[in-house]
Amino acid sequence: MCAPKNSQIRVFTSFVQNLRSDVSAYEKFKQYFDVPTLDDCPRSSSFRSMKRQRLTEPVDIIGLRDNETISNSDKTLLFVGVMTAEKYLTTRAKAVYETWGSDLPGRIAFFSSEVSYSEDLPLVALPGVDDSYPPQKKSFMMLKYMYDNFGDRFEWFLRADDDVYIRTDKLESLLRSVDSRKPWFIGQAGRGNSEEFGLLSLDHDENFCMGGPGVILSRETLKRIAPHVKNCLENLYTTHEDVELGRCVRKFAGIQCTWSYEMQTILYHNQSGSAAFTGELKQKEVHRAITMHPVKQPSHLYRLHSYIKGLRIQELEQDKVNLHRDVALAMAQLGVNATQLQDAKLSDQVQLFPDHLGHTGYLGDPSVLGTAPGITRFRPQDLEDVLDWELIIGKALYSHSDFNPRHKITSSLKEGLDDIIREVMTIVNKYSKQRGRVIDYRELIYGYWRLDPLHGADTVVDMLLTYRKYRGHKMTVPVRRHAYLQQTFTGLHIKEEDYSEEVEDYPKFLSKSTTQTHILHHIKEKKI
């Protein structure tokens, strides 16, 4: 509520004295003491903002329990502070909170101007801060708020914008591999564009972490700079918030942004501007990245989140297949073959796979999923069962089963080949950083493809690659790589849907209670 006027207070006092004796006093009270609601208050009223802030403690805003500490909770690895503005609370900020913001190994809060308010978001309205750009004051005051309230409650602190997407599972893997007790300032290192070079008051060996893809600070780094926030704000050399943050970290924490070639891919900034991440998402940049920036429209953020979740499902399906193979290999040492796995027992009272087909806990057919990878997984019983290979050269497919043996590769097969090659290159470059080299794909020389109706698709590819060594004796040479790959079927999934209420005009021979059952055979493309 806005503060009542003195005249209203006097009227209120006189009416309260008559409340006991006069029933109509309450109606008179409403008539004379018409106090405006929060929505009637001026938007610029600092009283409104501060009143709301007093209602909630910092730990309550983010849902942090008193007994949660770094040592006893897996939800205290990371605190994410998202800088946003009042006009984006119901759009960008909401989209962030409903997608990657709800799946963090920690907590998240949104930081906006002092007049901002939201009932749906964990929002911190920073006193004395507005939504003007550039947001230097908002950024520094957010970091100070983080340290003052949660400095010893989290291991890492991430400064993010409201137009970034973060793969939280990958980020967690990265952060758990680094010691947060040491000073770290992790991000995509920058020195400004060609027009800004030399105008940012940076020495030849100084840099800053670009703010767009996100900036990560260890608790030690935040501890060193938080007491000097005022000093940093009073000594700004440029209008760039990320440049000034880097200057502050360098001065008071004694470190710079991580100089790492890999950061350009895992903290990815798309140069397409507002068109970024609006087209095809099956790109190596999307698959490699931990953070992706910028995603300007909420609809594009939801779309990207759905795609990333699909990738995560594929990873889990692959993990399931690998576990089935490990179980089958271990049981083979005990004399149990693949056909006996479903009914095998670990002891008299413990069955290896207790749930059978039709139960919710059914884990799939172990005799199929547990089969080790190999070109001879499928064994034909007669000549007609022999699987045919089709030859791929360039953009053409050769097959003896068609009247015209040479025809164009179908879009579905092309998409499958692109997925295979992308996954192969991910495996090839898995340890590229440690070895000081990177291998890039150039073209497919030839390949073979066939479909195994029981196990999945088999593919043989011969690729032309470029080998680049950037450590030690630098070199760039063309190389060839031959690879055998298998995409394993993960089982039959049945989905039942009732269209009785959605379709108005049913055929006469169908009753309105008819249920259409769709059998979806999901082929998860997996690398072996």
User: Which residue, 313, 318, 270, 527, is CA-closest to 422?
Assistant: 527
Q: Do the Cβ atoms of 12 and 6 come closer than 8 Å?
A: no
pLDDT on residue 389: 92
The DSSP symbol for 372 reads P
CA atoms of 282 and 285, how far apart (whole Å)? 9
Whole-number CA gyration radius for the chain: 31
pLDDT on residue 501: 53
pLDDT digits (tens, 9 = 90+) for 5-57: 444 434 333 433 443 344 444 444 344 344 444 344 444 434 334 444 444 68
Q: Which residues contact 135 (CB under 8 A, 6 or more apart)?
A: 83, 241
Mean pLDDT on 451-479: 90
pLDDT on residue 122: 96
What are 2-10's contacts with CB under 8 Å, separation 24+?
2/35, 2/36, 2/38, 2/40, 2/41, 2/42, 2/45, 2/47, 2/48, 3/47, 4/33, 4/35, 8/32, 8/33, 8/35
Q: Do the Cβ atoms of 489 and 465 come closer than 8 Å?
A: no
pLDDT on residue 45: 38
- From the number of C-beta atoms within 10 Å of its C-beta (0-12, 13-18, 19+), residue 170 rates as middle
Split at pLDDT 50, 70, 90, the class of 2 is: very low
pLDDT digits (tens, 9 = 90+) for 477-512: 999 999 998 888 876 666 677 665 544 444 443 333
And the tokens for 20? Answer: 């006991």
Mean pLDDT on 189-204: 75
pLDDT on residue 500: 58
Helices (H), 402-474: 411-428, 432-435
Split at pLDDT 50, 70, 90, the class of 455 is: confident
- Written as one letter, the residue type at 174 is L
pLDDT on residue 32: 39
Q: DSSP per residue over 467-480, as a string? A: EEE-SSS-EEEEEE
Split at pLDDT 50, 70, 90, the class of 518 is: very low
Helices (H), 164-205: 168-175
Split at pLDDT 50, 70, 90, the class of 365 is: confident
pLDDT on residue 520: 32
CB atoms within 10 A of CB 74: 10
Residues in the chain: 528
pLDDT on residue 86: 96
pLDDT on residue 260: 83
Rounded percentage of the chain residues whose pLDDT exceeds 70:
81
User: Which residue, 206, 204, 233, is CA-closest to 142?
Assistant: 233
